[in-house]
Structures are given as C-alpha cells and as structure tokens.
Amino acid sequence: PSGICLTVVVLGASGDLAKKKTYPALYALYHRGFLPPNLRVVGYARSALTDEDLRSRLKGFLKGEEDSIDKFLASCSYVRGEYNGSEGYEKLQEILLQREGEMMCPSQIVGRLFYLALPPSVYPQVCTGLRHNCTDLDNAADNPKNWIRIIVEKPFGKDLQSSEQLADSLGALFPEDQLYRIDHYLGKELAQNMTVMRFANTFYNSWWHRDYISNVQITFKENFGTQGRGGYFDQFGIIRDVIQNHLIQLLALVAMEKPVSLHPDDIRDEKTRVLRCIAPATVEDTVLGQYVATGDEPGYLDDPTVPPGSKTPTFAACTLYVRNDRWYGVPFVLKAGKALNERKAEVRIQLKPTPASLYLSEGMRNEFVMRLQPGEAIYMKTVVKKPGLEMDTEMSELDLSYTKRYSGVHIPEAYERLILDAIRGDQQHFVRRDELRAAWAIFTPLLHQIDEGALTPEPYDIGSRGPASADALLARAGFEKGAKY
C-alpha cells in the first residue's frame, strides 16, 4: 500500500492497552511490511512526555531486532493534550495537516486511523474533539479515496440501554462505516477460519443442524484470576467481560446462515439475524461462580481493589437457544471463568449418538472441536477400529493441529490482523451497531436480575473446573462426557 500517507493516532498512548497491544501490533505489521512507507504513528495522551520518553517506554514491549524496532520508533511521535475541550485536538490537527502537506506525491490517499486505547467513558468527548477538529484533511490532497476511521473497544456500555446511549453519541459524530468496534476474538485465527470452513466445504452443511447435533459448548477458561484488574472487573463481571461479546460472537459464527456474499455487511447481516433468533438468557439456565482463596492463593474477594462482599461472578455458564429451523431445541452452553484449571478457548459441537450402532460405541460421541487457544486445532472425535487382530473400537481424532500442519507459519495476533483490516477498510471482523444491540438484548434481562440479586455466585476453588452445578447444567443440555482419548 505505497500509495497511501497513513497516520495512526493512538489516543491513550501512555496507557496499558497502548503499550501492551496497540503499539506491538503496529510494530508487528510494520516489521512484516504491511504498513506503507509513508507512515507516522502519533501518540496522544495527557501525560507530559517527550517523543523520546514515549519511545523508551514502548521499547521493552516490542519484540524483534533492535534495528527494525528503532526504525519503527523513529516514526512514532507524541502530542500532549486533554481529552475534553478542543485545544489538544487543534494542536493534533496542526501536526496532522503539516505532515500531510509535506507529502511528496499529491496523488497519494490520505488515511487517518484514530485508535482509542481509552476507557469508553471518555469516548464521547474524544470523538467530539476529533470530529470537530481533526476531520478536515489537507485540502491540497482532496482525494475522494481519503479516509478517516475510528477504532473503539469494549466495554460498550453495561446493558442494552447504556450501550445504545453510547452508540447514539458516537453515531451522531461518525457514520457507522467509520466506526470500527473491536472484539478481539474476531481477530483470532480460528474464529476467522469458521466461515471459510463452514461455507467453502460441502460436507459440513449436511450435518450442521438440529437433526445431527445434540449440543454446542463454547468455552473460555483462564488459569489465573483478575490479578490487579479486580477493581475494573468488578464493575462488569464475567458475563459482560467475556460472554456477551467474545463468546456470543463465536456462537454467531457457528450458528449463522450462509451470507449472500462475502461483503462485510452481508456477513454481519447474517450474524445479526441469528443473534436476533436467540431467546433471552434466563436465571434458570444460568450458573454463576466466584473463586475463593485456595491454599496460599488469594480469592477474588481478597483483591484489595474488589469491594468487600462483592457478588460479582468470575464464572458463568449459561444455556441459550436459537429459535430457527436449523437450531431449534439445540442447547448452546456458553461457559467462561477465571482462575480455573487451565487456559483454553474452544467450540465443541457434540453430535447425537449413532443410531443402531453395530459397534460397541457407548459413550463414544462424535465431537467436532475448534480450539482457538492454546495451540490452534480443529479435530473430529471419531470412532475407529483399534489397530490389531481384534475388531475392537476406540475413540480417535481426525486432526488438524496447526503446530503440525502449519509448523513455522506465523499466526498473527488478533490485534495485528484487526488493525490491518481497519487500514484496509474491511469491517467484516468488527461488530456492527445492530449486532451489538442484538447481543445485549440476549443478556440484559438476565444481567438486571443478577444485579438485583436473583442469582448468587457459588464459591469454587482456584484451579478447579468451576462450580459443580455447571456440570449439571451441561448434563441437562445433553452433553455426554465422552470416552477419553
């Protein structure tokens, strides 16, 4: 993309997200040659920093050869400014115009990507400042292909109403096609493979529905607690933190119908449609948990930033139903928890038992598994003949493990890919407003009931599988724990 003069403005440049995710992703793209030569990355924040201060802060977070890191850092500069008012943004605009005016080639496209690495509470004021001060590009470069895009990240509100309010205030400033709402799970390799696999192969569609599928589990597990983020986490809880966004997005990819085309809006139309078919989550079909001190390990409530006696769930399992022809009656169990026995994110589709099976295959259920992390893999648990003289059967896998099949291939970080998509103007892997609304509609009634105390989290040990009631919920959903393999 050499025909572009690109400026990425990282607002909140001195914060955690910027140094841990945004800049490293930008550097990785730069290093792999995905960013144009005419690039500048402008950091913006309230702290009094010089360009050099920012560079030395970032350096430790960028992985690669010193030379290439230094070259990248040379294109990074810093502007100090407030998030409210217009003064800071006027200064930013001057800098942007000056840079764009210096362009050697007037036929270049001018692109400005504003990355809000900031809490959503300041989105409205930042977007107002940007809209009124930083959207006029250099007139001399008046090219209809010039663009301005804004990247924002969750939490988008705490429920349907607050999310709509935020969406209204941003929507009054920027049209939907300039707003890129990140859900970083959509940037994961296997999440992106789901549509390809489902719609580029003949055989999935024949069994991808209620006649063959017994239940679907979408699981997110972490083997560490909230670790210093307790105060932040406590305002949200695991449903708002992970399930309403990351897991529901995976559900949409699993359950959506084939889109009319690969146009980002056709894909998002289908995702929204399937989300709108989901009945709101209920208290009866939900289990909550909170991890407690175990051995020497402090529990959630021992975190000094967590309010004493907090009832915020750090674990939740919740069964949802998609009310359409393909999925009617198939339970989708979304399960997420912190401080569990392992770190894992996967989609597990369990098929119905083989009718009138000729072989001893009791408890051996076919399962189609997509593991997003760790170690990307897609495998199908399959009954096979045990090699040897007997006709014994056993459970095995048809296995596509990325470490074996794609050994040595770089699998990009979610943020890397999503930032590149935003630069390319591809909104496919970003959450559209109506999609977000549909996702909130599923969880808002339940969340309000939980907030009012209708469901209390059950204690669970750190390093355990979570509360035992979650297994009972899975069993009710028809999940049969299969033979070990």
Output 13 or 242, the one with its CB closest to ligand BG6.
Answer: 242
Check residue 279 and report its DSSP letter.
P
In the complex, what is the shortest distance from the CB of residue 106 to ligand BG6, in angstroms, rounded to a whole number? 42
Instruction: Write the CA distances from 347 to 60, 252, 372, 391, integer angstroms.
Output: 35, 12, 8, 32
Distance (Å, rounded) from C-alpha 419 to C-alpha 422? 5
Closest residue by Cα to residue 447 from 288, 339, 247 = 288
Output 242 or 334, the one with its CB closest to ligand BG6.
Answer: 242
Does residue 100 interact with ligand BG6 by CB under 6 A?
no
- Asked if 174 and 150 count as a contact pair (C-beta separation under 8 A), the reply is yes
Output 16 or 211, the one with its CB closest to ligand BG6.
Answer: 16
In the complex, what is the shortest distance from the CB of residue 35 to ligand BG6, in angstroms, rounded to a whole number? 23
Interaction with ligand BG6 in 3-62: which residues (CB under 6 A)? Answer: none
Interaction with ligand BG6 in 237-266: which residues (CB under 6 A)? Answer: 241-242
Interaction with ligand BG6 in 180-209: which residues (CB under 6 A)? Answer: 184
Binding mask 334-373 for ligand BG6 (x = CB under 6 A): -----------x----------------------------
In the complex, what is the shortest distance from the CB of residue 377 to ligand BG6, in angstroms, rounded to a whole number? 16
Output 6 or 247, the one with its CB closest to ligand BG6.
Answer: 247
In the complex, what is the shortest distance from the CB of residue 296 to ligand BG6, in angstroms, rounded to a whole number? 23
Total residues at the site for ligand BG6 (CB under 6 A)? Answer: 5
Output 89 or 185, the one with its CB closest to ligand BG6.
Answer: 185
- Asked if 431 and 183 count as a contact pair (C-beta separation under 8 A), the reply is yes
In the complex, what is the shortest distance from the CB of residue 372 to ligand BG6, in angstroms, rounded to a whole number? 8
Output 165 or 227, the one with its CB closest to ligand BG6.
Answer: 227
Q: How many alpha carbons fall within 13 Å on the CB side of residue 92? A: 34
Active site residue 246: yes
Residue in 132, 209, 246, 410 annotated catalytic: 246
- List own/partner pairs for 120-126 with CB under 8 A and 24 or more apart: 120/152, 120/153, 120/154, 120/155, 120/156, 120/157, 120/166, 122/83, 123/152, 123/166, 123/169, 123/170, 124/166, 124/169, 124/170, 125/83, 125/84, 126/11, 126/83
Binding mask 205-244 for ligand BG6 (x = CB under 6 A): -----------------x------------------xx--
- Asked if 381 and 365 count as a contact pair (C-beta separation under 8 A), the reply is yes
Distance (Å, rounded) from C-alpha 435 to C-alpha 273? 8
Distance (Å, rounded) from C-alpha 174 to C-alpha 161? 20
Other C-beta atoms lying within 10 Å of the C-beta of residue 176:
15
What residues are annotated to the active site?
246
Instruction: Please give the residue ranges that form the binding site for ligand BG6 (CB under 6 A).
Output: 184, 222, 241-242, 345
